[in-house]
Amino acid sequence: MPKSAEILKHQLFKSIGLPWRDILPEARLDELLSEEGITYRNRPYTPIVTLWAMLYQALSADKSLRNTVKGITTWLTAAGVRPPSSDTGAYSKARDRLPESLLQRLIPETAERLEQTVPKDHYWCGRCVKVFDGTTVLMADSEANQDAYPQHGNQAVGCGFPLARVVVFFCLLTGAVVSGCIAPKTTSEIVMSRWLYQDLSPDDVAMADQAYGSYVDLALIQQQGADGVLRKHHARHTDFRKGRKHGLGDHQVVWHKPNRRPTHMSADEFAAIPQTLMVREVRLKLSRKGFRDQFIIVVTTLLDAKRYPASQLTRLYGWRWHAAEVNLRHLKTTLKMEMLTAKTPERVRKEIWSHLLAYNVLRSVMEQASPFVRYERNRLSLQGARQHFNQMLTLLATTSNATQQRLYDHLLQDIAADLLPQRPNRHEPRVVKRRPKPFPRMRQPRPILKAKLAA
Protein backbone atom coordinates (compact mmCIF):
# COMPACT_ATOMS: atom_id res chain seq x y z
CA MET A 1 0.00 0.00 0.00
CA PRO A 2 2.72 2.58 0.78
CA LYS A 3 4.25 1.81 -2.62
CA SER A 4 0.87 2.36 -4.30
CA ALA A 5 0.48 5.74 -2.59
CA GLU A 6 3.93 6.91 -3.69
CA ILE A 7 3.36 5.77 -7.27
CA LEU A 8 -0.05 7.42 -7.37
CA LYS A 9 1.35 10.68 -6.00
CA HIS A 10 4.13 10.61 -8.59
CA GLN A 11 1.66 9.92 -11.42
CA LEU A 12 -0.71 12.68 -10.33
CA PHE A 13 2.08 15.25 -10.08
CA LYS A 14 3.19 14.20 -13.59
CA SER A 15 -0.30 14.59 -15.05
CA ILE A 16 -2.93 16.81 -13.45
CA GLY A 17 -0.33 18.56 -11.31
CA LEU A 18 1.98 19.32 -14.23
CA PRO A 19 0.55 22.82 -14.97
CA TRP A 20 1.36 23.74 -11.34
CA ARG A 21 4.86 22.28 -11.38
CA ASP A 22 6.38 25.66 -10.49
CA ILE A 23 3.29 27.19 -8.85
CA LEU A 24 2.51 24.41 -6.37
CA PRO A 25 5.46 22.02 -5.98
CA GLU A 26 5.34 18.94 -3.79
CA ALA A 27 7.37 20.65 -1.06
CA ARG A 28 4.81 23.45 -0.78
CA LEU A 29 1.94 20.97 -0.50
CA ASP A 30 3.76 19.13 2.30
CA GLU A 31 4.26 22.48 4.03
CA LEU A 32 0.54 23.28 3.80
CA LEU A 33 -0.38 19.86 5.19
CA SER A 34 1.94 20.50 8.12
CA GLU A 35 0.43 23.95 8.75
CA GLU A 36 -3.07 22.46 8.73
CA GLY A 37 -1.96 19.79 11.22
CA ILE A 38 -2.91 16.95 8.88
CA THR A 39 -1.47 13.56 9.77
CA TYR A 40 -2.23 10.31 7.98
CA ARG A 41 -1.41 6.63 7.91
CA ASN A 42 0.12 4.67 5.05
CA ARG A 43 -2.81 4.08 2.73
CA PRO A 44 -3.44 4.56 -1.01
CA TYR A 45 -5.57 7.68 -0.58
CA THR A 46 -3.19 10.02 1.22
CA PRO A 47 -4.26 13.70 1.48
CA ILE A 48 -2.15 14.66 -1.57
CA VAL A 49 -3.49 11.77 -3.67
CA THR A 50 -7.04 12.62 -2.56
CA LEU A 51 -6.59 16.29 -3.47
CA TRP A 52 -5.43 15.54 -7.01
CA ALA A 53 -8.11 12.86 -7.40
CA MET A 54 -10.80 15.41 -6.50
CA LEU A 55 -9.47 17.79 -9.17
CA TYR A 56 -9.41 14.91 -11.67
CA GLN A 57 -13.04 14.21 -10.75
CA ALA A 58 -14.05 17.86 -11.20
CA LEU A 59 -12.41 18.03 -14.65
CA SER A 60 -13.96 14.77 -15.90
CA ALA A 61 -17.14 14.68 -17.95
CA ASP A 62 -18.21 11.72 -15.77
CA LYS A 63 -17.99 13.09 -12.23
CA SER A 64 -18.93 9.88 -10.43
CA LEU A 65 -16.71 8.44 -7.71
CA ARG A 66 -16.66 5.17 -9.64
CA ASN A 67 -15.09 6.80 -12.71
CA THR A 68 -12.41 8.48 -10.57
CA VAL A 69 -11.49 5.26 -8.77
CA LYS A 70 -11.35 3.35 -12.07
CA GLY A 71 -8.92 5.94 -13.42
CA ILE A 72 -6.67 5.50 -10.38
CA THR A 73 -6.71 1.69 -10.59
CA THR A 74 -5.92 1.88 -14.31
CA TRP A 75 -2.86 4.06 -13.69
CA LEU A 76 -1.57 1.72 -10.99
CA THR A 77 -2.09 -1.29 -13.23
CA ALA A 78 -0.11 0.45 -16.00
CA ALA A 79 2.73 0.96 -13.47
CA GLY A 80 2.81 -2.78 -12.76
CA VAL A 81 1.44 -2.43 -9.22
CA ARG A 82 -1.49 -4.33 -7.79
CA PRO A 83 -4.29 -1.72 -7.56
CA PRO A 84 -6.53 -1.28 -4.51
CA SER A 85 -10.16 -2.37 -4.55
CA SER A 86 -12.37 -0.65 -7.11
CA ASP A 87 -14.94 -0.01 -4.35
CA THR A 88 -15.51 3.74 -3.90
CA GLY A 89 -15.80 3.62 -0.10
CA ALA A 90 -12.11 4.27 0.64
CA TYR A 91 -11.97 7.26 -1.72
CA SER A 92 -15.23 8.67 -0.31
CA LYS A 93 -13.88 8.46 3.26
CA ALA A 94 -10.61 10.08 2.16
CA ARG A 95 -12.55 13.04 0.73
CA ASP A 96 -14.35 13.42 4.05
CA ARG A 97 -11.02 13.44 5.93
CA LEU A 98 -9.49 16.12 3.70
CA PRO A 99 -10.13 19.47 5.47
CA GLU A 100 -12.11 22.11 3.62
CA SER A 101 -9.66 24.77 4.81
CA LEU A 102 -6.86 23.21 2.70
CA LEU A 103 -8.91 23.54 -0.49
CA GLN A 104 -9.79 27.14 0.39
CA ARG A 105 -6.14 28.08 0.98
CA LEU A 106 -5.03 26.63 -2.34
CA ILE A 107 -7.36 28.81 -4.43
CA PRO A 108 -5.77 32.25 -3.73
CA GLU A 109 -2.28 30.76 -3.59
CA THR A 110 -2.48 29.16 -7.04
CA ALA A 111 -4.16 32.24 -8.56
CA GLU A 112 -1.59 34.69 -7.15
CA ARG A 113 1.38 32.57 -8.20
CA LEU A 114 -0.07 32.22 -11.69
CA GLU A 115 -0.52 35.98 -11.83
CA GLN A 116 3.15 36.44 -10.94
CA THR A 117 4.17 34.53 -14.08
CA VAL A 118 2.45 37.10 -16.32
CA PRO A 119 4.63 39.90 -17.76
CA LYS A 120 3.96 43.19 -15.97
CA ASP A 121 3.37 45.06 -19.23
CA HIS A 122 0.20 42.97 -19.75
CA TYR A 123 -1.48 44.53 -16.70
CA TRP A 124 -4.12 47.23 -17.18
CA CYS A 125 -2.31 50.57 -16.59
CA GLY A 126 0.21 48.60 -14.53
CA ARG A 127 -2.51 47.41 -12.12
CA CYS A 128 -3.95 43.97 -11.39
CA VAL A 129 -7.73 43.96 -11.84
CA LYS A 130 -10.10 41.66 -9.90
CA VAL A 131 -13.64 41.21 -11.22
CA PHE A 132 -16.37 39.82 -9.00
CA ASP A 133 -19.90 38.55 -9.42
CA GLY A 134 -22.28 36.01 -7.90
CA THR A 135 -24.38 33.02 -8.94
CA THR A 136 -26.33 30.13 -7.43
CA VAL A 137 -25.83 26.35 -7.52
CA LEU A 138 -28.21 23.48 -6.84
CA MET A 139 -27.44 20.33 -4.87
CA ALA A 140 -28.90 16.96 -3.97
CA ASP A 141 -32.22 17.16 -2.15
CA SER A 142 -31.21 15.73 1.23
CA GLU A 143 -32.40 16.77 4.68
CA ALA A 144 -28.95 17.99 5.71
CA ASN A 145 -28.60 20.13 2.57
CA GLN A 146 -32.09 21.58 3.02
CA ASP A 147 -31.26 22.61 6.59
CA ALA A 148 -28.06 24.43 5.58
CA TYR A 149 -29.10 25.72 2.14
CA PRO A 150 -32.94 25.86 1.96
CA GLN A 151 -34.69 25.65 -1.39
CA HIS A 152 -36.50 28.60 -2.92
CA GLY A 153 -39.59 29.66 -1.01
CA ASN A 154 -41.96 29.35 -3.99
CA GLN A 155 -41.33 25.59 -4.30
CA ALA A 156 -43.38 22.97 -2.49
CA VAL A 157 -41.72 20.84 0.17
CA GLY A 158 -40.03 17.84 -1.44
CA CYS A 159 -40.31 19.31 -4.95
CA GLY A 160 -37.29 21.61 -5.05
CA PHE A 161 -33.53 21.50 -4.61
CA PRO A 162 -31.36 23.13 -1.94
CA LEU A 163 -29.82 26.35 -3.23
CA ALA A 164 -26.47 27.92 -2.33
CA ARG A 165 -25.18 31.33 -3.35
CA VAL A 166 -21.57 31.66 -4.53
CA VAL A 167 -19.62 34.91 -5.03
CA VAL A 168 -16.32 34.65 -6.89
CA PHE A 169 -13.41 37.06 -7.52
CA PHE A 170 -11.69 36.47 -10.88
CA CYS A 171 -8.33 37.80 -12.04
CA LEU A 172 -9.08 39.82 -15.18
CA LEU A 173 -5.81 38.91 -16.86
CA THR A 174 -5.47 35.16 -16.26
CA GLY A 175 -9.14 34.39 -15.63
CA ALA A 176 -8.25 32.36 -12.51
CA VAL A 177 -10.41 32.35 -9.38
CA VAL A 178 -8.72 34.46 -6.70
CA SER A 179 -11.19 33.88 -3.86
CA GLY A 180 -14.75 32.77 -3.27
CA CYS A 181 -17.51 32.66 -0.70
CA ILE A 182 -20.43 30.24 -0.16
CA ALA A 183 -23.64 31.04 1.75
CA PRO A 184 -27.38 30.25 1.74
CA LYS A 185 -29.49 32.00 -0.87
CA THR A 186 -30.92 34.29 1.83
CA THR A 187 -27.53 36.01 2.08
CA SER A 188 -27.12 38.92 -0.33
CA GLU A 189 -24.38 38.90 -2.97
CA ILE A 190 -23.43 42.39 -1.81
CA VAL A 191 -22.89 41.21 1.76
CA MET A 192 -20.81 38.25 0.57
CA SER A 193 -18.66 40.45 -1.66
CA ARG A 194 -17.96 42.73 1.31
CA TRP A 195 -16.66 39.69 3.20
CA LEU A 196 -14.24 39.08 0.34
CA TYR A 197 -12.85 42.62 0.11
CA GLN A 198 -10.33 41.63 2.79
CA ASP A 199 -8.73 39.31 0.19
CA LEU A 200 -7.85 42.27 -2.05
CA SER A 201 -4.17 43.16 -2.18
CA PRO A 202 -2.87 46.72 -2.01
CA ASP A 203 -2.81 48.34 -5.47
CA ASP A 204 -5.51 45.99 -6.82
CA VAL A 205 -8.43 47.35 -8.84
CA ALA A 206 -11.84 45.80 -8.07
CA MET A 207 -14.50 45.96 -10.80
CA ALA A 208 -18.21 45.01 -10.67
CA ASP A 209 -21.66 45.96 -11.98
CA GLN A 210 -24.10 48.55 -10.63
CA ALA A 211 -25.39 46.38 -7.77
CA TYR A 212 -22.14 47.20 -5.95
CA GLY A 213 -21.70 50.87 -6.87
CA SER A 214 -22.34 52.33 -3.42
CA TYR A 215 -20.46 54.46 -0.90
CA VAL A 216 -19.87 51.54 1.49
CA ASP A 217 -18.38 49.32 -1.21
CA LEU A 218 -15.97 51.97 -2.45
CA ALA A 219 -14.92 52.80 1.12
CA LEU A 220 -14.33 49.15 2.07
CA ILE A 221 -12.29 48.56 -1.09
CA GLN A 222 -10.20 51.64 -0.38
CA GLN A 223 -9.57 50.44 3.20
CA GLN A 224 -7.60 47.54 1.69
CA GLY A 225 -5.35 49.94 -0.24
CA ALA A 226 -7.13 49.01 -3.47
CA ASP A 227 -9.27 51.03 -5.89
CA GLY A 228 -12.75 50.36 -7.19
CA VAL A 229 -14.26 50.73 -10.67
CA LEU A 230 -17.98 50.12 -10.18
CA ARG A 231 -20.98 50.99 -12.28
CA LYS A 232 -22.91 53.73 -10.46
CA HIS A 233 -25.98 52.55 -8.54
CA HIS A 234 -29.19 53.60 -10.30
CA ALA A 235 -30.55 55.30 -7.14
CA ARG A 236 -27.72 57.88 -6.99
CA HIS A 237 -28.09 61.12 -8.96
CA THR A 238 -25.20 62.51 -11.01
CA ASP A 239 -24.78 66.15 -12.06
CA PHE A 240 -21.70 66.72 -14.22
CA ARG A 241 -22.05 70.51 -13.84
CA LYS A 242 -20.72 70.19 -10.29
CA GLY A 243 -17.36 69.16 -8.86
CA ARG A 244 -13.87 69.31 -10.32
CA LYS A 245 -14.09 68.65 -14.07
CA HIS A 246 -11.60 66.42 -15.89
CA GLY A 247 -13.38 66.56 -19.23
CA LEU A 248 -16.77 66.09 -20.85
CA GLY A 249 -18.74 63.65 -18.69
CA ASP A 250 -15.83 63.24 -16.28
CA HIS A 251 -15.67 64.98 -12.91
CA GLN A 252 -14.51 64.53 -9.33
CA VAL A 253 -16.95 65.00 -6.44
CA VAL A 254 -17.23 64.36 -2.71
CA TRP A 255 -19.57 61.63 -1.54
CA HIS A 256 -20.91 61.69 2.00
CA LYS A 257 -21.30 58.71 4.26
CA PRO A 258 -24.90 57.44 4.51
CA ASN A 259 -26.66 57.91 7.83
CA ARG A 260 -28.14 54.43 7.86
CA ARG A 261 -25.87 51.56 8.90
CA PRO A 262 -26.14 48.34 6.83
CA THR A 263 -27.66 45.59 8.96
CA HIS A 264 -24.78 43.18 8.31
CA MET A 265 -22.17 45.62 9.67
CA SER A 266 -21.41 46.16 13.35
CA ALA A 267 -21.38 49.67 14.79
CA ASP A 268 -17.57 49.59 15.04
CA GLU A 269 -17.19 48.49 11.41
CA PHE A 270 -19.50 51.25 10.23
CA ALA A 271 -17.72 53.83 12.38
CA ALA A 272 -14.38 52.89 10.75
CA ILE A 273 -15.69 54.07 7.36
CA PRO A 274 -14.67 57.70 6.63
CA GLN A 275 -17.31 60.45 6.65
CA THR A 276 -16.48 61.59 3.11
CA LEU A 277 -15.00 59.98 0.03
CA MET A 278 -13.44 61.63 -2.99
CA VAL A 279 -14.96 59.88 -6.02
CA ARG A 280 -14.58 60.27 -9.75
CA GLU A 281 -17.71 59.80 -11.88
CA VAL A 282 -17.16 59.07 -15.56
CA ARG A 283 -19.72 58.72 -18.35
CA LEU A 284 -18.61 55.91 -20.66
CA LYS A 285 -19.77 55.29 -24.21
CA LEU A 286 -20.07 51.60 -25.10
CA SER A 287 -20.46 51.03 -28.84
CA ARG A 288 -21.62 47.88 -30.64
CA LYS A 289 -21.93 47.58 -34.39
CA GLY A 290 -25.58 47.53 -35.44
CA PHE A 291 -26.81 48.85 -32.09
CA ARG A 292 -27.32 52.27 -30.59
CA ASP A 293 -24.50 53.51 -28.41
CA GLN A 294 -25.00 52.78 -24.73
CA PHE A 295 -23.97 55.28 -22.07
CA ILE A 296 -23.21 54.20 -18.52
CA ILE A 297 -21.69 55.97 -15.53
CA VAL A 298 -18.94 54.36 -13.49
CA VAL A 299 -17.70 55.55 -10.12
CA THR A 300 -14.09 55.04 -9.20
CA THR A 301 -11.44 56.04 -6.69
CA LEU A 302 -8.90 56.30 -9.55
CA LEU A 303 -8.71 60.09 -9.44
CA ASP A 304 -5.72 60.61 -11.74
CA ALA A 305 -7.39 61.42 -15.08
CA LYS A 306 -4.05 61.49 -16.90
CA ARG A 307 -2.95 58.02 -15.82
CA TYR A 308 -6.50 56.59 -16.04
CA PRO A 309 -8.28 58.49 -18.86
CA ALA A 310 -11.89 57.79 -19.76
CA SER A 311 -10.77 55.80 -22.81
CA GLN A 312 -8.87 53.37 -20.57
CA LEU A 313 -11.86 53.04 -18.22
CA THR A 314 -14.11 52.33 -21.22
CA ARG A 315 -11.67 49.69 -22.41
CA LEU A 316 -11.53 48.17 -18.92
CA TYR A 317 -15.28 48.04 -18.32
CA GLY A 318 -15.78 46.53 -21.76
CA TRP A 319 -13.98 43.42 -20.49
CA ARG A 320 -16.24 42.99 -17.45
CA TRP A 321 -18.83 40.76 -19.13
CA HIS A 322 -16.28 38.26 -20.40
CA ALA A 323 -14.27 38.35 -17.17
CA ALA A 324 -17.23 37.73 -14.85
CA GLU A 325 -20.36 36.44 -16.59
CA VAL A 326 -18.61 34.19 -19.12
CA ASN A 327 -16.24 32.76 -16.53
CA LEU A 328 -19.14 31.96 -14.21
CA ARG A 329 -20.84 30.22 -17.13
CA HIS A 330 -17.66 28.17 -17.67
CA LEU A 331 -17.74 27.08 -14.04
CA LYS A 332 -21.42 26.13 -14.07
CA THR A 333 -21.85 24.80 -17.62
CA THR A 334 -18.45 23.72 -18.93
CA LEU A 335 -17.34 22.15 -15.63
CA LYS A 336 -20.94 21.18 -14.74
CA MET A 337 -20.97 22.80 -11.30
CA GLU A 338 -24.60 23.90 -11.64
CA MET A 339 -25.97 20.73 -10.02
CA LEU A 340 -23.92 19.06 -7.27
CA THR A 341 -24.52 15.49 -6.13
CA ALA A 342 -23.16 15.59 -2.56
CA LYS A 343 -25.71 14.94 0.17
CA THR A 344 -24.15 16.88 3.07
CA PRO A 345 -23.25 20.60 3.27
CA GLU A 346 -19.57 19.84 4.02
CA ARG A 347 -19.25 17.68 0.91
CA VAL A 348 -21.12 20.26 -1.16
CA ARG A 349 -18.65 22.97 -0.18
CA LYS A 350 -15.70 20.68 -0.94
CA GLU A 351 -17.19 19.98 -4.38
CA ILE A 352 -17.44 23.71 -5.05
CA TRP A 353 -13.86 24.41 -3.89
CA SER A 354 -12.52 21.48 -5.94
CA HIS A 355 -14.31 22.81 -9.04
CA LEU A 356 -12.77 26.25 -8.48
CA LEU A 357 -9.34 24.64 -8.11
CA ALA A 358 -9.84 22.51 -11.22
CA TYR A 359 -10.85 25.65 -13.10
CA ASN A 360 -7.58 27.27 -12.00
CA VAL A 361 -5.68 24.24 -13.34
CA LEU A 362 -7.24 24.81 -16.75
CA ARG A 363 -6.48 28.53 -16.60
CA SER A 364 -2.85 27.68 -15.81
CA VAL A 365 -2.65 25.41 -18.87
CA MET A 366 -4.21 28.12 -21.02
CA GLU A 367 -1.80 30.75 -19.68
CA GLN A 368 1.14 28.51 -20.62
CA ALA A 369 -0.36 28.11 -24.12
CA SER A 370 -1.00 31.86 -24.55
CA PRO A 371 2.50 32.73 -25.89
CA PHE A 372 1.71 30.58 -28.96
CA VAL A 373 -1.17 32.96 -29.80
CA ARG A 374 0.66 36.18 -28.90
CA TYR A 375 -1.13 36.35 -25.53
CA GLU A 376 -4.60 36.70 -27.06
CA ARG A 377 -6.06 34.87 -24.08
CA ASN A 378 -9.69 35.45 -25.05
CA ARG A 379 -9.15 33.41 -28.22
CA LEU A 380 -8.35 30.25 -26.23
CA SER A 381 -11.21 27.84 -25.60
CA LEU A 382 -11.64 26.64 -22.02
CA GLN A 383 -13.78 23.71 -23.16
CA GLY A 384 -11.15 22.81 -25.75
CA ALA A 385 -8.41 23.05 -23.12
CA ARG A 386 -10.37 20.74 -20.83
CA GLN A 387 -10.92 18.18 -23.60
CA HIS A 388 -7.27 18.19 -24.74
CA PHE A 389 -6.01 18.02 -21.15
CA ASN A 390 -8.29 15.13 -20.18
CA GLN A 391 -7.25 13.15 -23.26
CA MET A 392 -3.59 13.56 -22.35
CA LEU A 393 -3.77 12.80 -18.60
CA THR A 394 -3.35 9.02 -18.79
CA LEU A 395 -0.37 9.32 -21.14
CA LEU A 396 1.28 11.94 -18.94
CA ALA A 397 0.75 9.81 -15.83
CA THR A 398 2.15 6.56 -17.24
CA THR A 399 4.91 7.69 -19.63
CA SER A 400 8.58 8.22 -18.92
CA ASN A 401 9.91 11.64 -17.87
CA ALA A 402 11.72 12.04 -21.19
CA THR A 403 8.51 11.64 -23.17
CA GLN A 404 6.41 13.62 -20.71
CA GLN A 405 7.74 17.07 -21.65
CA ARG A 406 7.32 16.36 -25.37
CA LEU A 407 3.70 15.34 -24.78
CA TYR A 408 3.02 18.41 -22.67
CA ASP A 409 4.52 20.74 -25.30
CA HIS A 410 2.32 19.05 -27.88
CA LEU A 411 -0.69 19.60 -25.58
CA LEU A 412 0.01 23.34 -25.33
CA GLN A 413 0.34 23.62 -29.11
CA ASP A 414 -2.96 21.76 -29.59
CA ILE A 415 -4.71 24.13 -27.18
CA ALA A 416 -3.23 27.14 -28.99
CA ALA A 417 -4.38 25.76 -32.35
CA ASP A 418 -7.96 25.24 -31.12
CA LEU A 419 -8.93 28.91 -31.23
CA LEU A 420 -12.39 30.40 -30.79
CA PRO A 421 -13.71 31.96 -34.02
CA GLN A 422 -13.64 35.73 -34.38
CA ARG A 423 -17.26 36.78 -33.89
CA PRO A 424 -17.31 40.46 -32.89
CA ASN A 425 -20.63 41.81 -31.59
CA ARG A 426 -22.24 38.38 -31.89
CA HIS A 427 -25.67 38.11 -30.31
CA GLU A 428 -28.18 35.28 -30.18
CA PRO A 429 -31.77 35.05 -28.86
CA ARG A 430 -32.09 33.28 -25.51
CA VAL A 431 -34.52 30.60 -26.69
CA VAL A 432 -34.55 26.80 -26.76
CA LYS A 433 -35.30 25.03 -30.03
CA ARG A 434 -35.44 21.45 -28.78
CA ARG A 435 -38.79 20.63 -27.16
CA PRO A 436 -38.68 19.13 -23.66
CA LYS A 437 -40.27 15.79 -22.83
CA PRO A 438 -44.02 16.18 -22.12
CA PHE A 439 -43.79 15.11 -18.47
CA PRO A 440 -45.58 17.26 -15.88
CA ARG A 441 -43.72 19.23 -13.27
CA MET A 442 -43.17 17.61 -9.88
CA ARG A 443 -45.64 19.32 -7.52
CA GLN A 444 -45.83 16.74 -4.72
CA PRO A 445 -43.09 14.93 -2.75
CA ARG A 446 -41.80 11.71 -4.28
CA PRO A 447 -43.20 9.35 -1.54
CA ILE A 448 -46.74 10.63 -2.21
CA LEU A 449 -46.37 10.16 -5.96
CA LYS A 450 -44.97 6.65 -5.50
CA ALA A 451 -47.88 5.74 -3.21
CA LYS A 452 -50.34 6.92 -5.87
CA LEU A 453 -48.59 4.73 -8.45
CA ALA A 454 -48.76 1.70 -6.14
CA ALA A 455 -52.48 2.30 -5.58
pLDDT per residue as tens digits for the range 247-306:
999 999 999 999 999 999 999 999 999 999 999 999 998 876 666 778 899 999 999 999
Q: How confident is the model at residue 2 (pLDDT cuts 50, 70, 90)?
A: low
Output b/e per residue, 240-259; b: 16+ Cβ within 10 A. beebeebeebbbebebeeee
Helix H or strand E encompassing 345: helix 345-369
Query: What CA–CA distances, in Å, run from 203 to 109, 126, 173, 279?
Result: 18, 10, 15, 17
Residue 182 makes CB contacts below 8 A (sequence gap 6+) with: 164, 165, 166, 349, 352
pLDDT per residue as tens digits for the range 44-89:
899 999 999 999 999 999 999 999 999 999 999 988 888 888 899 9
pLDDT per residue as tens digits for the range 388-410:
999 999 999 999 888 999 999 99
Q: How far apart are CA 261 and CA 271, in angstroms?
A: 9
Q: What is the pLDDT of residue 382?
A: 96
Nearest to 209 by CA among 364, 317, 92: 317
Residue 129 makes CB contacts below 8 A (sequence gap 6+) with: 123, 171, 172, 173, 204, 205, 206, 207, 229, 316, 323
Burial (CB count <10 Å: 0-12, 13-18, 19+), residue 180: buried
Alpha helices in 60-130 (DSSP H): 65-78, 89-97, 100-116
Angle 433-439-443 from CA coordinates, rounded to 5°? 120
Q: Does residue 1 carry a pLDDT above 70?
A: no
Cβ atoms of 80 and 3 within 8 Å: the answer is no
DSSP bridge pairs for 279: 253
Q: Does residue 172 carry a pLDDT above 90?
A: yes
Helix H or strand E encompassing 170: strand 163-171
| Domains of the chain and any CATH numbers | 107-331 (3.90.350)
Residue 349 makes CB contacts below 8 A (sequence gap 6+) with: 100, 182
Nearest to 18 by CA among 354, 415, 407: 407
DSSP bridge pairs for 281: 251, 299
DSSP bridge pairs for 138: 163, 339
Q: How confident is the model at residue 241 (pLDDT cuts 50, 70, 90)?
A: very high
Q: Does residue 90 carry a pLDDT above 60?
A: yes
Q: Does residue 425 carry a pLDDT above 70?
A: no
Query: What CA–CA distances, in Å, run from 353 to 64, 108, 238, 276?
Result: 17, 11, 40, 38
Q: What is the pLDDT of residue 291?
A: 67
- For 178, list phi and psi in degrees, rounded to 5: -90, -40
Q: Does residue 355 carry a pLDDT above 90?
A: yes
Q: How confident is the model at residue 222 (pLDDT cuts 50, 70, 90)?
A: very high
Helix H or strand E encompassing 175: none
Mean residue pLDDT of the chain comes to 92
Please report, as a single letter, which amino acid is at residue 295: F
Q: What is the DSSP letter of 296?
A: E
Q: How far apart are CA 85 and CA 63, in angstroms?
A: 19
pLDDT per residue as tens digits for the range 182-194:
999 999 999 999 9
Q: How far apart are CA 413 and CA 368, in angstroms?
A: 10
Comparing 158 with 41, the larger pLDDT belongs to 158
Q: Does residue 147 carry a pLDDT above 60?
A: yes
Q: What is the pLDDT of residue 254?
A: 96
Q: What is the pLDDT of residue 272?
A: 94
